[in-house]
Amino acid sequence: MTTTVGPSEIRRAMAAIRITPGSVVREASDVPRKIWHGISALANFSEEELAIATTPKQEIYRDDMIRLYRYLPTVEHDLGIPVLIVYALVGRYQMIDLEQDRSFVRKLLDAGLTVYMVDWGLPTRAQRWTTIDDYVSGYLDDCVDVVRTHEGVDTINLLGICQGGVISTCYAALFPDKLATLTLAITPLDFHGDAGCPQPGTAYMNQWARGLTGEDIDRYIAAHGNVAGDSVGLSFLMMDPVANAGKYTVDLLSILDDDRKLLNFLHMERWLADRPSTPGEVARQWLKDLYQDNKLVKNELVLGGRTVDLRNITMPVLNVYAEGDVVVPNSTTRGVGPRLGTSDYTELGVPGGHIGTFVGGKAQRVLGPEIIDWLKARNGAQQ
């Protein structure tokens, strides 16, 4: 830390503080009112109001803990080529359908897209040995085949989000013939992309993983089996512990008298509380092969005996990044176009942070329409 503070700076800082006894009393007297309102609101919200991911859908396939859903259409016409959404393993798919008025899924449906969703479910100790390859070449490939059969098409649009984007990228490289397009959102691809531009507050997970040895990770998996959802949640909290402490205190206090914002907060908490465990072998590969050895962009990642070669990704690719993402910094996701085999590569920046991409108002105004337009242009060209 190189910040130095001299007497003149202290004088200037003190000049900025204009807190009067009146403002203290005003703010202090406001606190009990907010708390009482908040207590009443928290107790009175109905389960219907608290429900998340309410867009109607139908389960069409299941295997182990995996479920494949087809969302019910909201308009008559459809584009013909369905979209299969693949969310991360470390969180539940409900994030992209969190609230009715800001649901990414509803936007796609309203635009006439046929939307499917993979729900990775809640892995238990029985999934201790499940590998990334089992997800890519097993579960996801089965889901893609079910969608192709169900819709009577040879190829589909795959949309991978965050960790699901990595799974989708691997799938696109191994099964390119089954995909019409690949859309990636807030997806880490170059796991060492942050190394050249270290910035406190970003890419903590990348640095943390590189600070461990391969043996540390092996022993961690041996000790814990799976990485518990609670542990994953804690690791996200520790990326920004002070801001998270503020979220549950000062920030919460400031919204206690605003039912709409309080409900938003509770929806997010409901999603956060439902964090799945990550199968041990997946975590081992994820931390060692990707975070530590960065094998994906080097075309060295081997899944089920087959090398994931990004040059096999020849379908059109849309890569969406969040401009303020500190979990997946732009340096780890942007600029991968030349590494892919496709000549149709597009990058799209949306305002906000990692999660804000799918729940933030500003991002929602950009994300849905842009993806829909991009898909329509590509799907139209292929039909």
Partner 1 sequence: MLTTSVDRALQFAEGYLPKFGQTHANSLQTGVDRAFGALADALGLATTRTMFDNVRALAEAEYEWQLALAGYLGVAGSAVGNAPRLAVARLAEVSKKGETIDSPLGLLRVWTLALGQATHSAMQSGDGIAASARLVRATTEHQLRLENLIALAADAVGLVTRCDLDEAYREIHLLKRQMRSLRRDRATNAAPAKRKRASANGSAIATREQA
Q: Which residues make up the interface to partner 1 (CB under 8 A)?
A: 1, 3-5, 9-10, 12-20, 23-24, 27-28, 58-63, 70, 73, 125-126, 128-130, 134, 138, 142, 145-146, 148-154, 198, 200-201, 204, 207-208, 210-212, 216, 219-220, 222-225, 238, 240-243, 245-246, 250, 254
| In the complex, least distance from residue 90 CB atom to partner 1, rounded to whole angstroms | 17
Of residues 244 and 346, the one with the C-beta less far from partner 1: 244
> Which pairs count as long-range contacts for 174-178, CB under 8 Å and 24+ apart, including other chains?
174/136, 174/137, 174/303, 174/306, 174/308, 174/312, 175/141, 175/144, 176/312, 176/313, 176/314, 176/315, 178/141, 178/144, 178/145, 178/148, 178/154
Residues linked to residue 67 through DSSP beta bridges, in sequence order: 62, 119
User: Helix, strand or coil for residue 93?
Assistant: helix
Of residues 23 and 307, the one with the C-beta less far from partner 1: 23
| In the complex, least distance from residue 224 CB atom to partner 1, rounded to whole angstroms | 7
| In the complex, least distance from residue 270 CB atom to partner 1, rounded to whole angstroms | 25
Using DSSP bridges, classify how beta strands 317-322 and 345-350 pair: parallel, antiparallel or unpaired. Answer: parallel
| In the complex, least distance from residue 168 CB atom to partner 1, rounded to whole angstroms | 19
Determine contact, residues 346/319, Cβ cutoff 8 Å. yes
Give me the amino acid identity at 132. I
Of residues 20 and 44, the one with the C-beta less far from partner 1: 20
Instruction: Verify whether residue 197 is a known catalytic residue.
Output: no
> Which pairs count as long-range contacts for 270-273, CB under 8 Å and 24+ apart, including other chains?
270/50, 270/52, 271/52, 271/91, 271/92, 271/94, 271/95, 271/98, 272/233
Which two three-digit tokens encode residue 126? 């029985």
Of residues 13 and 42, the one with the C-beta less far from partner 1: 13
Give kind and range of the element (H or E) at residue 66.
strand 66-71
Angstrom distances, CA of residue 104 to CA of 109, 156, 219, 375? 9, 19, 39, 15
| In the complex, least distance from residue 24 CB atom to partner 1, rounded to whole angstroms | 6
Which residue is catalytic, options 143, 162, 170, 197?
162
Q: Which of 308, 83, 290 is CA-nearest to residue 189?
A: 290
Of residues 8 and 46, the one with the C-beta less far from partner 1: 8
What span, in angstroms and rounded, lies between the C-alpha atoms of 176 and 166?
Answer: 15
Of residues 99 and 142, the one with the C-beta less far from partner 1: 142
Cβ atoms within 10 Å of 222's Cβ, excluding its own: 10
Which two three-digit tokens encode residue 383? 């039909």
Question: Which residue in this structure is represented by tokens 């092996």?
Answer: 218
| In the complex, least distance from residue 242 CB atom to partner 1, rounded to whole angstroms | 4
List residues with catalytic annotation.
162
